[in-house]
Amino acid sequence: MSVDPLLQLLSQKARYSHKELSDILNMDAAAVAAKTAEYENDGTILGYHAVINGEQSGDTSVSAFIEVKLTPERGGGFDRLAMRIARFEQVEACYLASGGYDLLVIVKGPSLREVASFVSEKLSTIDGVLSTATHFKLKSYKEYGFIFEQEEPEGRLVVSP
């Protein structure tokens, strides 16, 4: 099953007007507005966000990618624990993953100390959490399909023997 072209366009640029979308999709603007409202009401579209370049905006917050190993629960697997973790305000995203760990949790906080405190005092202490491995984000190159512009070095690189 393919994704509705309207959803594809909105996931690339949520600020399209209904008129712009109707022109691109060759649909009536009222039909686009109605379909968008339907997607919002049924939970297909959960929200909209801007992709912010933290270096440009002066954002000094810290993000971490945390690998979490869990003990699955009888009858519920990982779902109840994953939802409990996802509800923390520090958690930006929480994914069930394949491989050497069960959840990938993305956490954001005002400082390295705050993120470390969250991991050690809240996340690691939950019954069913076996272990965590925290990786701090050092620099963003691309998020949600947007490349963070980097200045290209001018000329050729110097080659040393």
Residues of the chain with CATH 3.30.70.920: 59-138
- At residue 156, the pLDDT reads 66
- At residue 161, the pLDDT reads 67
Q: Are 46 and 86 in contact (CB under 8 A)?
A: no
Q: What predicted TM-score, i.e. pTM, was given to this entire model?
A: 0.83
- At residue 55, the pLDDT reads 87
- At residue 150, the pLDDT reads 67
Residue 2 phi, psi dihedral angles, 5° rounding? -90, 160
pLDDT along the chain (161 residues), means of 10: 87 92 94 95 93 90 97 90 97 97 97 97 96 96 86 66 67
- The 10 Å CB-count burial string (b at 16+, else e) for 75-86 is eeebeebbeebe
Which tokens hold the place of 57?
A: 């905006």
CATH class of 59-138: alpha beta
3 state SS for the chain: CCCCHHHHHHHHCCCCCHHHHHHHHCCCHHHHHHHHHHHHHCCCCCCCCCCCCHHHHCCCCEEEEEEEEECCECCCECHHHHHHHHCCCCEEEEEECCCCCCEEEEEEECCHHHHHHHHHHHHCCCCCEEEEEEEECCCCCEECCEECCCCCCCCCCCCCC
